[in-house]
Amino acid sequence: MTVYDPAVPDPAEAAAKATAEILESTLRSAARGVVVDSPPGAGKSTLVVRAALELAAAGRPLMVVAQTNAQVDDLVLRLAEKEPGLEVGRLHSSDGDPYDKALDALEQVRKSAKAGDLAGLPVVVSTAAKWAHVKNVEPWAHAIVDEAYQMRSDALLAVAGLFERALFVGDPGQLDPFSVVGADQWAGLSYDPSASAVSTLLAHNPELPQHRLPVSWRLPASAAPLVSDAFYPYTPFRSGTGPGDRRLSFGVASDGSAPDRVLDEAAESGWGLLELPARNTPRTDPEAVHAVALLVRRLLDRGGAAVSERAEEPVPLTAGRIAVGTAHRDQAAAVRAALAELGVSGVTVDTANRLQGREYDVTVVLHPLSGRPDATAFHLETGRLCVLASRHRHACVVVCRAGVTDLLDEHPSTEPVQLGVAVKFPDGWEANHAVLSHLSEHRVSWTP
């Protein structure tokens, strides 16, 4: 087990040590599975690529299981970039337009909808959903399961017969998998089909080696302590960069308005809270949506520039480096419409579910509890807030109606405790309070 070891002062050294141990476990341990927990931006994808290359180099036929087609394509591109000589199979669905057209330009990538066509390749990559349909093939010696905490137990059940042993990699703090129908009937069973693949795996195989990546390369020094404390209190991590390694500045000075002031605060401290007056609103709160769009507009208008360890010179903050995160799809749609009205294009606007695994310089977040009369389990889910608060390399601005702290106090968690189900800690209530109390130090109130 990798431990958080403050005695290792250099983050790069700590990360390298953890990676070496993980690869050692994966390649040489007798255990059938190895589990790696990775906090946001800790180099999970890099680890997956490295482990894949080492396994391929060791001559072990490897299958890689990812959760979405975008993740699969991304992985194949990374593998091809890192090791152009390696033959990679991309197993895809038989629907139209099943994979990223960029793969067509790569000679070493073979694509097929049939697993049989890709037999014998050192690495074959596909989604869990596609792998589940693969039958009657020789099992692979090794598998890498990416985003294993977002994979459901029943999806693992459908593919586990395809491999002898596996490396499971994922972020336990992100959103849990869910089901559109009730699954309480199986709550507490070790193989509850609606639980995450990792919880089933560990319930049946508690002796498997578990590792942890200790350094977040994405989160700035201003964000890592908060995210670590609020969402990973027992498995802390640190940022790979120190205070001052990342800076955000604007070419155009503030016009003194609240949106500009909160942007300045966020550029300075990494966090900003734009607080609108308390009110119960529909989900697509027009004022909050407009505030989000206006913040994005001002971010672009003011000519933001980001200084980081990646480049010598400040890099201009473009639309592609900004994301807006919401809880619901209709909120995302409303923000997109508001942005279009302000003439902004190219900014990613999506729900927490779809932002998982993505990285931006600046994020603007519509708080899941803003304007709500109640705090349901959906809106309190720890993973949702964690995803929204951990996508940024420089700064995160949250837009929220006042009064969420009171709302939380009126709605303590009342989820029934099921026998045999590990209680998740911290719960969403606790995590929300932790984040809000931190944000309140960076608050700018605004009455639009």
CA distances to 250, 393, 397 from 366, rounded to whole Å, are: 23, 18, 9
Longest CA pairwise span in the chain (Å) = 67
For 390-428, b/e burial (b = at least 16 CB within 10 A) is bbbbbbbbbbbbebbeebbeebeeeeeeeeeeeeeebbb
- Least Å distance, CB 138 to other proteins, is 16
Site mask for other proteins (CB under 8 A), range 149-188, x = bound = ----xx-xxx-xx-----------------xxxxx-xx--
Residue from 46, 108, 112, 190 in contact with other proteins (CB under 8 A): 190
What's the start-to-end Cα distance of the chain, in Å? 52
Element (H, E) at 432: helix 428-439
Q: Cβ of residue 189: shortest distance to other proteins, in angstroms? A: 7
Per DSSP, 169 falls in state E
Nearer to other proteins, 182 or 256 (CB): 182
| Least distance in angstroms from the C-beta of 431 to other proteins | 26
Q: Is the peptide bond before 426 cis (omega within 30 degrees of 0)?
A: yes
Q: Which is nearer to other proteins, 171 or 192 (CB)?
A: 192
Q: Is 349 in contact with 357 (CB distance < 8 Å)?
A: no
Q: How far is the CB of 195 from other proteins (least distance, A)?
A: 11
Question: Binding to other proteins by residue 193, rule CB under 8 A?
Answer: yes
> Site residues for other proteins, window 303-342 (CB under 8 A)?
329-330, 333
Strand partners of residue 363:
323, 396
- Nearer to other proteins by C-beta: 124 or 160? 160
Q: Residue 291 in contact with residue 399, Cβ under 8 Å?
A: yes
Q: Which is nearer to other proteins, 193 or 225 (CB)?
A: 193
Question: Is residue 253 within the footprint of other proteins (CB under 8 A)?
Answer: no
Among 129, 305, 342, 402, binds other proteins (CB under 8 A): 129
Work out how close the CB of 164 gets to other proteins at its nearest, in angstroms, rounded to a whole number: 9
Size of the site for other proteins (CB under 8 A): 36
Measured CA to CA in angstroms, residue 58 lies from 53, 54, 123, 125, 150 at distances of 9, 6, 12, 18, 29
Shortest distance in whole angstroms from residue 158 CB to other proteins: 5
Helical residues (DSSP H) of 271-328, grouped into ranges: 286-301
DSSP 62-85: EEEEESSHHHHHHHHHHHHHH-TT
Q: Which is nearer to other proteins, 28 or 135 (CB)?
A: 135
Residue 160 or 267: the one with the smaller Cβ distance to other proteins is: 160
Does residue 355 bind other proteins (CB under 8 A)?
A: no
Span 60-119, contacts to other proteins by CB under 8 A: 97
- Please work out, in degrees rounded to the nearest 5, the angle formed at the alpha carbon of residue 384 by the alpha carbons of 381 and 387: 145
Residue with smaller CB distance to other proteins, 97 or 107: 97
Query: Among 60, 133, 354, 358, which residue sits at the site for other proteins (rule: CB under 8 A)?
Result: 133
Q: What is the β-pairing status of strands 315-316 and 304-307? A: antiparallel
Q: Would you state the structure tokens that stand for residue 444, as one six-digit string?
A: 């700018």
**Is 197 an interacting residue with respect to other proteins (CB under 8 A)?**
yes
Does the footprint of other proteins cover residue 194 (CB under 8 A)? yes
**Residues in touch with other proteins (CB under 8 A):** 32-33, 97, 129, 132-133, 135, 153-154, 156-158, 160-161, 179-183, 185-186, 189-194, 197, 200-201, 203-205, 329-330, 333
